[in-house]
Amino acid sequence: MTKSPYYFAPKPLLNPRARIFCFPYAGGTSSIYFDWPDYFFSRQIEVVAVSLPGRGARFGEPFDASIEAAITNMVDEFLPYLDRPFYLYGHSNGALYCYEFARQLLNRGQLLNCRRVFLGAKAAPRITYRRDPLHLLNETDFRQALAELGGTPQALLADEQLLTLLSPMLRADFKLGFDYMSTEPQQRLQQLPTTLIYGTQDVDVGAQAMSAWRELLPQAELESVAGGHFFIHHQQALLVDLLLTRIPM
């Protein structure tokens, strides 16, 4: 089976028992999930690090016009890989992709094998942000905001040429997240098991912002991981352990 350009499994399994599809945060690439197969291998779960156009190995490809369009462009290509139980994880902006992916699968009648959705470090779509829209900041303020968020390596922030090269991609990602407005709640999607995860030291996306997802997903449970917005890196083992407690052996 020819793999979609969106589909990247760092350590592919010949016959996985299940799959987990992982969506990166704004400015992130599929590489943020490259270590995850080590945690899931013993359960024969294949980790799929979703590869988006314009980022990482697909740098230079046109960005999608919206998160809805991004999912529409990829969803058909993922259908062959939904033939067994699967899970979804999205971090920060990736949580919006994750939710929209589940929503479009539901509309196509393809959500049957989805066992749980994990949404990390992202306020519900209708929440008012504490910050100004990042993609509209001038370059000086934009770089300061990147430094405050804590997810951009210091070496990158100090590299003028590289940051200038990557700035359009980062702004495009932040704009996609800012513009996304979810549709009205859908009853069947509300019944999908969902875990909302926030960092206990995240100054932008705390328990209240994450809990607002219950407007769309009223049955969602709320969990926390010690750390800031990028606990996906600083507390990787704790985060994956939390996910695995919700995934049957």
Q: What is the 3-state secondary structure (H, E, C) of 129-151?
A: CCCCCHHHCCHHHHHHHHHHHCC
Under 8 Å CB-to-CB from 172, ≥6 apart: which residues? 54, 63, 135
Helix (H, G, I), strand (E, B) or coil at 209: helix
Task: Dump pLDDT digits (tens) for 77-107.
Answer: 999 999 999 999 999 999 999 999 999 999 9
Q: Which of 6, 132, 151 is nearest to 64 (CA)?
A: 6
Contact 195, 246 (CB under 8 A): yes
pLDDT value for 89: 98
Q: What is the pLDDT, as a whole number, of residue 103?
A: 93
Which pLDDT belongs to residue 136? 66
How far is it, in rounded angstroms, from Cα 167 to Cα 151?
A: 14
What per-residue confidence (pLDDT) applies to 232?
96
Residues 186-197: what's their mean pLDDT? 85
Of residues 141 and 6, more confidently modeled: 6
Q: What is the pLDDT of residue 67?
A: 94
Give the Cα separation of 210 and 91 in Å (integer).
12
pLDDT (0 to 100) of residue 164 = 78
Average pLDDT over residues 234-248: 97
Residue 152 — pLDDT band, cuts 50, 70, 90? low
Spatial distance between the Cα atoms of 229 and 116, rounded to a whole number of angstroms:
22
Average pLDDT over residues 136-144: 75
- Spatial contact of 116 and 193, defined as CB atoms under 8 Å apart: yes
**pLDDT in the model for residue 128:** 47
- The yes-or-no verdict on residue 2 having pLDDT over 60 is no
Gap between the Cα atoms of 14 and 126, Å rounded: 41
User: 114 pairs with which residues across the strands?
Assistant: 86
In the prediction, which pLDDT does 163 show? 75
Q: What is residue 158's predicted lDDT score, i.e. its pLDDT? A: 61
C-alpha triplet 245, 218, 73: angle, nearest 5°: 80
Residue 156, pLDDT above cutoff 70: no
Instruction: Determine the average pLDDT of the residues in 201-225.
Output: 92
Partnered with residue 61 across adjacent β-strands are none
* Non-local CB neighbours of 46 within 8 Å, separated by 6+ positions: 9, 11, 12, 13, 16, 18, 19, 20, 37, 40
State the burial class of residue 93 (Cβ atoms within 10 Å of its Cβ: 0-12, 13-18, 19+): buried
The model's pLDDT over 111-131, given as tens digits with 9 standing for 90+, comes to: 999 999 999 999 988 654 545
The one-letter amino acid code at 158 reads A
List pLDDT tens digits, range 48-82: 999 999 888 898 899 899 999 999 999 999 999 99
Share of the chain above pLDDT 90, in %: 63
Q: What are the C-alpha distances in Å from 63 to residues 59, 168, 170?
A: 9, 10, 11
Residues 19-37 have pLDDT tens digits of 999 999 988 899 999 999 9
